[in-house]
Amino acid sequence: MNLKIPELSLVVLIGPSGSGKSTFAKKYFRPTEVLSSDFCRGLVSDNENDQTATKAAFEVLHFIAAKRLEAGKLTVIDATNVQPSARKPLIQLARQYHCLPVAIVLDMSERLCQDRNEKREDRSFSKHVIKQHKQYLRKSIRGLKKEGFRYIYTFTNEEDVSNLEIERQPLWNNLRHIKGPFDIIGDIHGCAGELEMLLTKMGYIIEEKEFDYEGFGYNIAHPEGRKAVFLGDLTDRGPDSLKVLKIVMSMVNSESAFCVPGNHDIKLLKKLNGKNVELKHGLDRTIEQLEGQPDKFLGHVKEFINSLISHYIFDDGNLVVAHGGMKESLQGRGSGKVREFALFGETTGETDEFGLPVRYNWADEYRGSAIVVYGHTPVTEIEWINNTIDIDTGCVFGGKLTALRYPEKELVSVEALYKYYEPVKPFESVTEKAYEQPDRDNDMLDITDVSGKKILSTRLRRNITIPEQNSAAAIEVMSRFVADPHWLIYLPPTMSPCETSGIQEYLEHPEEAFSYYRQRGIDRVVCEEKHMGSRAVVIACRDEEAASKTFKAADGQKGICYTRTGREFFSEEDLKNAFIDEVVDTLTQSEFWEKFETDWVCLDCELMPWSAKAQLLLKEQYSAVGTAGVQSLRQVVPLLNEAAGRELICFEVSNETSGKNMDIKELAARYQEKMEMLNKYVEAYRKYCWPVNSLHGYKLAPFHIMAVEGRTFINKEHLWHMNEINEICKAGSNLLMATNFMEVDVTNDDSIKGGVDWWYGLTQNGGEGMVVKPLDFTVKNENGLIQPAVKCRGREYLRIIYGPEYMLDKNMKKLKKRSLGKKRSLALREYALGVEALERFTRNEPLYRVHECVFGVLALESEPVDPRL
Amino acid sequence: MFLTVTSTEKPATNLGYLLHKNPQRPQTHELTFGKAHVFYPVANDKKCTAVLMLDINSLDLARTRKKAYMGLFDYVNDRPYVSSSFLSVALSQVYSSAMAGRCKKKPELVDKKMRLKAVISMVKCKGGEEFIRKLFEPLGYSIAITSYMLDDKFEEWGKSPYYTINLENNCTLKQLLNHVYILLPVLDNKKHYWIGKDEVEKLLNHGQEWLAEHPDKSMIINRYLNYKKSFANIAFDVLTSEEETEEREERPVSEEALNLNQQRLGTVMAVLKSEGINSVIDLGCGEGKLLKMLQSDRQFNNIAGMDVSVTALERARDRLRLDDVPEFKRERINLFQGSLMYRDKRFSGYDAATVIEVIEHFDISRLAAFEKIVFGYARPRVVVITTPNFDYNKNYENLMEGNMRHRDHRFEWTGDQFQNWCLDICIKYRYSVRFIDIGDKDSRQITPTQMGVFKR
């Protein structure tokens, strides 16, 4: 015998103890699909037969069942379930997760059950228990359907049970095996002319032929076998609903189209079925247009609408279509709720001042991986929101009829020929979204997108784990200081220094940077001058329109300049705008936009002077130490000299114990040296400071062109970046400057010497140093990613990092024992995340997908690491 | 970095006996954090100067950092050059006899007042010269202070918090050393070690003869003991007479004594009660001052506190004593980390949300997100928002024209600006609003804080 059950169902086994439920479950289902009450009793009490544990056992059972159903897994309940009260919570569970409850009743004879129980060693209960089970079952078995079971199978003898074939049926909405390509068409509302135009525009051949009940007068197909998908609301309001019905029914019949129902279609069906339906919202026109049609045709229309499935899942689950949309938890499920959602979308239960239901913006919260294409709510502008797209462009209200081509994701539309119908709300404001929010925030980020432990999958480095405590720290930073997340499409990684130098008086030296890459199979590197400023990410857009389209920028904003941690550089409005304007103008003059076919660009840069951003640090740390040190030493050195000049009793000098004699001359010399070091330290930090009062005084040195519309440039050599940036700077600007660089062959001694000398030249007078990068932007070897860059800082510069006295031998000895492992590991993870964010952005992925990556970079930055590296 | 003590009382070299340090013998003392050197640039009959100089390697400080040092030590660090608790520790070890008033060879000198001069360099003091004078002048010192720019090359960076202090007094050496010992960490307002109970003893020990009479004793005690209330109370009880103690305790808490924040929170409570609120979420609860008030009122049976800062939440936990109160009480309160920049299901389901002195910490460009999260998604029946009234800022003498009250404030709104913003929200999200002024009215009838009470 063949036993059909839906692929996603809650199978409830019903039968007295000893009726063979467990055997049945074992034979026909996977062990993980079966939840047995006995097993749960064992879980909570160590004794499968401990009846006092029953309550707890069922709580566990229901909990696990809920988790499985939520995940879309068929689940079998192996418990007696002979009373309605035991079955009721299971039916509720099935409803809650929108899957179908199936009852399989093993109504075996009392005799058989008793015999079996007697044979079991682990179980001994009196005969009346089974008798009672049988009674309960008898009383309630007729009511199973009424209780809510959609499939009920009853077996009364062992033979029937032993020869079964269980057939798991896919749900009707499951068309995962059909992969397209599709042309998904929004609400038509009787606009037959526009529909024909649109189909023709997309290459469908429309042949009119004699009317029959197969083709309804049409033969329509796409020569390349594309399939049309109609999103419902075929009728009402418009001029020719009859023709639309014929076209759609013809295409569905000939399998060149699929169709899901809209709320208007369902209402029409009710009317045709003779139900009392008000002739409102354009239904009156449809009824008029259908007048005089033969009953047979109307019968076909009824049958057609009646056969429509609420939503479809295509292409391995990557595409979902429904009239009103479909949230993730309902996709591929079947229930009244699912159908209602498919027809109307989600509503809050309130109505607005026009008497229309207030919609709940489910798309805003959507986090599913499947694309959801829907209509129902007319919009003036089509917009992707978190992988969902509403393509109802209000044709019947004088807007457009639009199709989305899949998998191309291209939009095709035709303008409405007339305004056929006056909307209840003025169409321009018919966003009908929750509380008519401006569009800016309808991809709002949710706390669950970022909080807690996260595992992010990146192209460059697979899975990167963000620990919970790091997320917690980043939430604070992200909320309090960071710019609008729409702009945060990239954060640069931290950068590790080269290995510690073997040369005595150097902490860092280019040799180590070169050998790092040489040892990892790289022959050529590029050395770029490291400007002593602050790392900055600059996004510039050709104009305000591009900024608002791509980054949802506020009015008047053409770009942004933010720090390594996502904070806006400038707070003053005028300066902010002048800065971006200058960058945009330079890009325009250099014909960047045309050359790169883009409206925006993301640049990785250094912004100078350092003192512009590091004011607080300079005041509270650097100059503070300078003043305190220089002034106190200035006072104490003369005192020491005075003391050293006195005729003193000279003792043998030893400093082993407290209160021992001391060599005052040596001390005086040492403090003199301290003072000199402190002066040099002050000189070192002063080099990176200059006052800026307006835009004049700032310098911006870009070194990577990270991305433009549709692509990133992390596949380009650094020399390419340097040259392209040079081209931009040639346009002439007081703000932008090119970066000095030189190429080094790290296998060639002369070339290495050239690099080292170049570095000496940069650093002798206090330059910060250089950054060494492999010629290719991203390099992987068999051990994975290698550092995209290492820095090599100058001796003088390091005074402000390691303190005024770091060059003293004893200090140097200690400092050389530094460890780079953690910094380097962070640098790679942050690099992979930053690139991932950019790539997701250029692929037009939803905001939350981009945000989780930049958030990851910030979270990793909260990891404690030696700040001097 | 150093302390010089100079005596001009003939024979000046007596200073050497008092300090137990031979003027002819420069010497070094090993301390846990480095070294201290003692030497005499001058030592003759007329004038004798002893220098106690610290020799600290900032690198060693950073390396040996223990939990107790708590971030005081960065790698580029002023500690080796300033006179702080490090110098106090050095004093108590190197000059211990002098501080205790022991002098074997010339005991008669111990209690002898003499003309003493001292130089302390560098003192870090954020309170400026006035503060330094306030500490030393009541003790009889005449004082000269040298101040410094942060960097001569960049005058716009302003003055540094470092000073050289020249002190002069007619007193015993013991007094001078004990004054300096206590007042250095008070000036610096930091200590390099953990403040334990023995710190109270040190304070009493070195301050017993003079601290009780000092007009700013409570400030000295608080700063010396790092504002630890329980410790400060012990010190107070010992140092102040019984009468004074009673006076302190019996002073009634008058109505006028309510500060602005108390008035603000009081008003919030009153509004919540008048709206018949039972469940409330405090968005941006900080350290939980409002939560504490809500906790002690039985009307509120479901209370939540949300803040973006984990540290603030930990303090709130302490304040609410969540680890101590009985379970039924604990269950009424739920604390969690969240953000008003991210939509959050946990914000839903409360009668009211309070957003007290929070919005001014958001960039204006991000307010729309906040509005949508609170009024669009959470949609409580009542929302209470307070924010500073910019119009009132004229009344703050220390506030420069156009400046804001707090470093992190991104904006402060005038009455009109705030009310317009509120009305826009009402239109967008279908709420109604009423306004309440909080704080004492100035001559133009303007109050420091403004409140909007939104109702759905």
CB contact under 8 A, A627 and B160: yes
B159 lies within 8 A of chain A by CB: no
Picking from A13, A167, A9, the residue whose alpha carbon sits closest to that of residue A100 is A9
- Whether pLDDT at B163 is above 80: yes
> A413 forms bridges with which residues in the sheet?
A402
Mean pLDDT to the nearest integer, B260-283: 94
> Is residue B277 located within the same domain as residue B338?
yes
> Do residue B161 and residue A805 have CB atoms under 8 angstroms apart?
no
Question: Is 0.90 surpassed by the pTM of this model?
Answer: no
Of A483, A626, A691, the CB nearest to B156: A691
Report the pLDDT averaged over residues B385-408: 82
pLDDT tens-digit series, residues A730-784: 888 889 999 999 999 999 999 999 999 999 999 987 889 999 999 999 998 888 8
pLDDT higher than 60, residue A428: no
One domain for residues B31 and B57: yes
Taking the C-alpha atoms of residue B309 and residue A344, their distance in angstroms, rounded to an integer, is 41
* pLDDT at residue A655 is higher than 70: no
Beta bridge partners of A394: A400
**Nearest by CB: B121 against A632, A638, A686:** A632
Angle at A660 between CA A657 and CA A664, to 5 degrees: 135
Q: Are residues B221 and B269 in the same domain?
A: no
pLDDT value, residue B401: 67
pLDDT of A465 reads 93
Is residue B343 less than 8 Å (CB to CB) from chain A?
yes
Report the CATH number of the A492-610+695-818 domain: 3.30.470.30
pLDDT at residue A805, as a whole number: 85
* Same domain flag for B217 and B113: no
Supply the pLDDT for residue A649.
56
Looking at the DSSP bridge assignments, the partners of residue A660 are B28
Same domain for B318 and B441: yes
The verdict on B136 and B35 lying in the same domain is: yes
Per-residue pLDDT band for A347 (boundaries 50, 70, 90) equals: confident
Domain of residue B215: give its range: 200-251
When mean pLDDT is compared over A394-398, A770-774, A862-866, B80-84, the highest value belongs to: A770-774
Q: Please say if the pLDDT value at position B246 is more than 50.
A: no
Q: What are the structure tokens assigned to B236, written together?
A: 């107070």
Residue B121 CA, chain-centre distance (Å), reads 23
Inter-chain residue contact A639 with B51, CB threshold 8 Å: yes
Tell me if chain A has a CB within 8 Å of the CB of B367: no
Q: Tell me how far apart the alpha carbons of residues A838 and A778 are, in angstroms, rounded to a whole number.
A: 14
Beta bridge partners of A525: A744, A774
Q: Is the Cβ–Cβ distance between A632 and B121 less than 8 Å?
A: yes
Q: Which H or E run includes B425? A: helix B415-429
| Mean pLDDT within B207-213 | 86
A770 contacts A792 by C-beta, under 8 angstroms: yes
CATH number of the domain located at residue range(s) A174-436 in this protein: 3.60.21.10
C-alpha to C-alpha distance for B228 and B235, rounded to whole angstroms: 11
Confidence at residue B257, expressed as pLDDT on a 0 to 100 scale: 59
- Cβ contact (<8 Å) for A447 and B344? yes
Domain boundary among B164, B194, B224: B194
Helix residue spans in A687-808 (DSSP H): 718-730, 749-764, 799-802
- pLDDT at residue A840 greater than cutoff 50: yes
SS3 A79: coil
Do B266 and B172 share a domain, yes or no?
no
Cis status, amide bond into A774, omega within 30 of 0: no
CB A626 within 8 A of CB B43: no
B216 and B171 part of one domain: no
pLDDT at A124: 65
Inter-chain CB proximity B343 and A444 less than 8 Å:
yes
B90-95 contact pairs (CB < 8 A, 24+): B90/B29, B90/B31, B90/B36, B90/B52, B90/B54, B91/B3, B91/B52, B91/B177, B91/B180, B91/B181, B92/B181, B93/B29, B93/B31, B93/B36, B94/A659, B94/B21, B94/B29, B94/B36, B94/B38, B94/B52, B95/B19, B95/B20, B95/B52, B95/B177
**Amino acid at position A278, single letter:** E
If you measure CA to CA, which chain B residue comes closest to A799? B76
Instruction: Say which of A622, A648, A657 has its CB closest to residue B76.
Output: A622
DSSP 3-state of A472: helix
Structural domains of chain B, count = 3
**DSSP H helices in A620-707:** 623-645, 664-686
Q: Give me the architecture of the A2-169 domain, per CATH.
A: 3-Layer(aba) Sandwich (3.40)
Which pLDDT belongs to residue A769? 93
A242-259 pLDDT, tens digit per residue, is 999 999 999 999 999 999
3-state secondary structure (DSSP) of residue A176: coil
Q: Are residues B235 and B297 in the same domain?
A: no
Beta-strand runs (E) in A741-855: 741-745, 769-774, 780-781, 784-785, 790-793
Q: Collect all residues of chain B within an 8 Å Cβ-Cβ radius of residue A437.
A: 372, 376, 428
A&B contacts, CB < 8 Å: 214
Question: Up-side HSE of residue A244: CA atoms within 13 Å toward CB?
Answer: 30
Q: Within its chain, how far is the Cα of A490 from the centroid? A: 14
Average pLDDT over residues A812-831: 90
Domain boundaries, given as residue ranges, for chain A: 2-169, 174-436, 449-491+820-869, 492-610+695-818, 613-650+659-686
Query: Which chain A residues touch B150 with a CB distance below 8 Å?
Result: 619, 623-624, 627
CATH number at residue B335: 3.40.50.150
Q: Report ipTM (2 d.p.).
A: 0.80
b/e per residue, A737-756, with b = 16+ CB within 10 A?
bbbebbebbbeeeebbebbb
Per-residue pLDDT for B396 more than 70? yes
pLDDT in tens, A707-729: 999 999 999 999 999 999 999 99
- Dihedral (Cα; B360, B362, B368, B370), 10-degree rounding: -90
The predicted pLDDT at position B313 comes to 93
Task: Specify whether B153 is located in the same domain as B235.
Answer: no
How does the average pLDDT of chain A come out, rounded?
Answer: 89
Q: Who among A631, A658, A661 is closest to B122 (CB)?
A: A631
Give me the residue label for tokens 């002893």. B50
Residues A733 and B452: their CA atoms lie apart, in Å, by: 49
* Residue A173 CB neighbours (<10 A): 23
SS3 of residue A413 by DSSP: strand
**Angle value at C-alpha B244, between B238 and B248, nearest 5 degrees:** 105
- Rounded to the nearest integer, the mean pLDDT of chain B is 87
pLDDT tens per residue across span B95-135: 988 998 888 888 888 899 999 999 999 999 888 899 999 99
Return the number of other C-beta atoms located less than 10 Å from residue A817's C-beta. Answer: 7
In angstroms, what is the C-alpha Rg of chain B? 28
Candidates B94, B46, B79, B24; CA nearest to A664 is: B24
* B180 phi, psi to nearest 5 deg: -60, -40
Question: Is A546 in contact with A600 (CB distance < 8 Å)?
Answer: yes
User: Is pLDDT above 70 for A451?
Assistant: yes
The region that residue B403 occupies, defined by phi over 0 for left and psi between -120 and 50 for alpha, beta otherwise, is beta
Is residue A48 very low, low, confident or very high in pLDDT (cuts 50, 70, 90)?
confident
pLDDT in tens, B33-87: 889 999 999 999 999 999 999 998 877 776 655 444 444 456 778 888 988 889 9
To the nearest whole Å, the CA of A478 is away from the closest chain B CA by: 9
Burial of residue B330, with CB atoms counted within 10 A of its CB: 0-12 exposed, 13-18 middle, 19 or more buried: middle
What is the Cα–Cα distance from A786 to A772, expressed in whole angstroms?
A: 13
Of B296, B289, B331, the C-alpha closest to B312 is B289
Q: Is the separation of the CB atoms in A2 and A165 below 8 Å?
A: yes
CA-based nearest residue in chain A for residue B29? A658
Least confident of A542-556, A606-620, A673-687: A606-620
